[in-house]
Amino acid sequence: MAKRIATYQHIADILSFESSTEALEAALTAPDFDWDAIVMEGSKHLVLPALYCRLKSKGLLTVLPEELSTYLEEITNINRNRNKVILEQVHWLSTVFNTHHINHVFLKGAAVLAMDLYDDMAERMIGDIDVLVDLEQLDTAYELLIKNNYTPIPQTLGHDFFEHKHLPRLKTKDFICAVEIHRKLFVSNENVTLTNTNLINNKEKVNDIFVPNHQHLIMHNVLNHQLNDDGYYFSTVNFRSSHESIRLLQIEPIKHEQYNDTFIQSYFNLIGIFFKDEVLHLYATKNLRITFALQRLKYPTLNHLYFKILKWWRFIHIIINRSILFVKNSSYRKAILKDRRRISAHLLSFIKNS
């Protein structure tokens, strides 16, 4: 089935800044065009507001079925209002940190929202507020927010035995978003460019908010998908991340030495399948990874099997490592035995759903 490939390409063409508006209009107005597939995939990729905003900017809202247009407009308005509140929270956090001389830089969605990356702030859907803090001030920053009505979200036992990229998430009744105070950007990879010190020392102040410099911002967007969201492991494309990378590339191209990174190369090779015009200079047309990714999109059964194998491979790897730790570390062993019911339920759920 090539249907999913077509759906992905239609989403890319809507989000694209280079695709032909006339060709897109012809495709979207075809009698057999599948809007349900667009909504389903757009929802999975967190780009429904972005799709609406891009159709609006292209003057193509009239091609939408009436009910769908109303639905997307409502979602977009809700997200715009939510982002306005989130931006207020970012400014509040910035003021508190600056007042107490906390060296910090906002990341990801909070950063692009603060710097007005999009013509309409509704385009970007945001979950938490991520902020990187100087390693020597992590505890100070954390306690500062607790003193200002933030409370930690309960953690599993793993937080006590394995290093995480951020401290336990903090939530508050005063604002809409949870906050994650980061010590670093990645758990499984040590990128020599995106270190805590390098990001903070080279930060920029935009609209009174500290954000990463442009090269760091685009690298983090790419590697966050590739490493933290397992994009490289599963060879997947995410349209929210892709759309943001393309928007950032419009402002400033990625440096050649950064593109030499394997994870970054792979990312642009994969999104280049659907955004050829935007990343043509970064796109490898002949690549086994690309070919296999297309085959997986074409054949859902193959895609399902591929994901299942990789999930089980990772699961087995984790079980082996945790079993070794269980034998060697008495504290970990006691914690596991104390929390055995939850862990058993988690293991059974994985087996059942895999």
Start-to-end CA span in the chain (Å): 23
**How many CA atoms does the CB half-sphere of 273 hold within 13 Å?**
27
Q: Are 175 and 220 in the same domain? A: yes
Q: Are residues 137 and 96 in contact, defined by beta-carbon separation less than 8 angstroms?
A: no
Q: Compute CA distances 314 → 146, 225, 263, 302, whole Å.
A: 36, 18, 19, 18
The pLDDT of residue 197 is: 95
DSSP state of 282: G
> How do 179-182 and 204-206 pair as beta strands?
unpaired
Domain count, the chain: 2
Quick one: 133 exposed, middle or buried, by C-beta within 10 A (0-12, 13-18, 19+)?
buried
- Predicted confidence pLDDT, tens digits, the chain (354 residues): 468 999 999 999 999 999 999 999 999 999 999 999 999 999 999 999 999 999 999 999 999 999 999 999 999 999 999 999 999 999 999 999 999 999 999 999 999 999 999 999 999 999 999 999 999 999 999 999 999 999 998 877 767 777 789 999 999 999 999 999 999 999 877 788 899 999 999 999 999 999 999 999 999 999 999 999 999 999 999 999 999 999 999 888 877 667 678 899 899 989 988 998 888 666 555 678 888 888 998 898 999 999 999 999 999 999 999 999 889 999 988 988 888 888 888 888 888 887
Cα–Cα dist 320/325, whole Å: 9
Q: Is 268 helix (H, G, I), strand (E, B) or coil?
A: helix
Q: What is the model's pLDDT at position 286? A: 62
Cα dihedral: 110, 114, 118, 121 (round 10): 70
* Same domain assignment for residues 189 and 338: no
Q: Give residue 2's pLDDT.
A: 66
For the chain, give the number of residues.
354
- Looking at the structure, do residues 261 and 307 belong to the same domain, yes or no? no
Distance CA 220, CA 45 (A): 18
Place of tokens 């057999």: 32
Model pLDDT, residue 247: 94
DSSP tag of 129: E
- Domain finish residue from 298, 321, 344: 298
Query: Do 106 and 169 fall within a single domain?
Result: yes
pLDDT of residue 283: 59
Is-contact 219 258, C-beta < 8 A? yes
291 shares its domain with 310:
no
Q: Do 52 and 186 belong together in one domain?
A: yes
Question: Looking at residue 229, which CATH number applies to its domain?
Answer: 3.30.460.40
State how far the alpha carbon of 100 is from the alpha carbons of 81, 138, 140, 167, 183, in Å: 29, 13, 9, 19, 18
Cα gap 336→3, rounded to integer Å: 46
How many CB atoms sit inside 10 A of residue 92's CB? 13
Q: What is the pLDDT of residue 259?
A: 67
- Orientation of helix 3-15 relative to helix 288-298, angle to 10°: 110
User: How high is the pLDDT of residue 123?
Assistant: 96
Q: Is 217 helix (H, G, I), strand (E, B) or coil?
A: helix
116 shares a domain with 258: yes
Q: Which amino acid is at 302?
A: L
Q: Are residues 148 and 181 in the same domain?
A: yes
The predicted pLDDT at position 201 comes to 96
Of 131, 132, 109, the closest CA to residue 121 belongs to 109
Distance CA 241, CA 108 (A): 10
Are residues 348 and 234 part of one domain? Answer: no
Residue 239, number of CB atoms within 10 A of its CB = 23
Range of the structural domain that residue 142 is part of: 3-298
- Residue 285 and residue 331 share a domain: no
pLDDT of the residue at 209: 97
CB contact at 8 A, 350 and 314: no
The neighbour count for residue 325, using CB atoms within 10 Å, is 15
* Pair (135, 164) in one structural domain: yes
* Helix axes 288-298 and 300-328, enclosed angle (nearest 10): 110
- Same domain flag for 149 and 247: yes
> Which two three-digit tokens encode residue 40?
């389903």
- Can you tell me the distance from the alpha carbon of 12 to that of 21, in angstroms, rounded to the nearest whole number? 12
